[in-house]
Amino acid sequence: MAKGDMLGGGGALWDEYSDIVADRMNNPRNLGEITEEEAEAINCKLVVADFGAESCGDAVRLYWAVENETEIIKISKYKSFGCGTAIASSDIMAELCIGKTVDEAVKITNIDVEKAMRDEPDTPAVPPQKMHCSVMAYDVIKKAAAQYKGVDMESFETEYIVCECARVTLSTVKEVIKLNNLTTVEQITDYTKAGAFCKSCIKPGGHEKKDIYLVDILKETREEMEKERLENSATTDNFRDMSMVGKIKAIEAVLDENIRPMLVMDGGNMELLDIKEDDHGNIDVYIRYLGACSTCATGSTGTLYAIESTLKQQIDEAIRVLPV
């Protein structure tokens, strides 16, 4: 069958599916079941796990034959009840499990499945709105592993997952926002891939209902950052009375919040080398430019002025910034 046959037609939409996806839809390699007798014949334990996606009605049943001594998955098969994308992703998912231990299989993510279905490394295998079909892969693996080990499947999750498609955790999203001073959901997606596929995690009204969305996380994290900034600003009231470590931390906090993100965007950065106070009450802050900033002409003019004026405003009016 041609690519369009099982997908239901032709046109630009079908071009968004990789040839591997079309091939696995039409010619699945691992479709089928494993019986108790077949598993026992090769010294394996049979594991059968079912998982269904409420959002689209797709369902998959995963069969494992796990070797008793090594816990290696010797055979992996499945039955899929759903769209062609669900069949293709289930076929790849089952194949990825073969030869792995149960503990290794649990680490297979939806992104691993999607990337294995790509024709080219940088070209998605399916349209974004169909990425949710591969979400079942991770969940049914987790359920099979839980049954094998006799534990609750949630025990494999140590953090709250914000984006099921890319398996991005809440702590990762918040950390990336803070470290890179992100201000838009689009930036979060660029950095983490959260929201890049089915987009349900971006805001209410998407394909699936979520407990928390990227827009909420961004808003809350920015509020936390502002609160921390104000607290850091408050600690600079007695800057001259601080220890050297305290002074360095206060200046680094201002640089991280207001200066470094700007420099990094242009391929540069800076480091704080030393802080000295002279007999006239001046506070000399010695810095070194890094990356593109080390050869930029504005390092002694506009950029230097921006750094110095920010530190004067937020730390102490007597600060002078000296690049070395």
Supply the pLDDT for residue 180. Answer: 78
Bridge-based pairing of strands 268-277 and 168-169 is: unpaired
Cα 17 to the chain's mean position, in Å?
23
Q: How far is CA 43 from CA 71, 75, 118, 301, in A?
A: 11, 12, 35, 74
DSSP-assigned letter for residue 258: I
Question: What pTM does this model have?
Answer: 0.54
Residue among 44, 56, 165, 201 flagged as catalytic: 56
Task: Answer for the pair 137, 113: CB distance below 8 angstroms, yes or no.
Answer: yes
Quickly count helices (H) and strands (E) in the chain: 13, 8
Q: Which fold has domain 242-323?
A: GMP Synthetase; Chain A, domain 3 (3.30.300)
Q: Is the dihedral of CA 245, 251, 256, 259 positive or negative?
A: negative
- Examine the residue annotation and report whether 83 is marked as an active-site residue of this protein: no
Task: Answer for the pair 129, 56: CB distance below 8 angstroms, yes or no.
Answer: no
Task: Answer for the pair 87, 7: CB distance below 8 angstroms, yes or no.
Answer: no
Instruction: Detail the DSSP E strand segments found in 190-316.
Output: 268-277, 283-291
Q: From the options 1.10.10, 3.40.50, 3.10.590, 1.10.287, give the CATH code of 163-227.
A: 1.10.10
How would you write the pLDDT of the chain (324 residues) with one tens digit per residue?
A: 445 444 544 445 567 889 999 999 999 999 999 999 999 999 999 999 998 765 556 789 999 999 999 999 999 999 988 788 889 999 999 999 999 999 999 888 877 888 899 999 888 888 766 666 666 777 899 899 999 999 888 777 667 889 888 778 888 899 888 877 889 999 998 888 889 888 889 999 887 788 899 999 999 999 998 887 776 655 545 788 888 888 898 899 999 999 998 888 888 999 999 999 988 889 999 999 999 888 888 778 888 998 999 999 999 999 999 999
Bridge-based pairing of strands 283-291 and 319-323 is: parallel
Paired with 284 in beta bridges are 276, 320
Supply the pLDDT for residue 103. Answer: 92
Supply the pLDDT for residue 6. Answer: 45
Answer yes or no: CATH 3.40.50.300 is held by domain 3-157.
no
- Which tokens is 91 given? 């076929």
Task: Answer for the pair 37, 114: CB distance below 8 angstroms, yes or no.
Answer: no
- Examine the residue annotation and report whether 293 is marked as an active-site residue of this protein: no
- Which tokens is 315 given? 């730390």
Residue among 133, 163, 201, 293 flagged as catalytic: 133
Q: Domain map of the chain by residue range?
A: 3-157, 163-227, 242-323
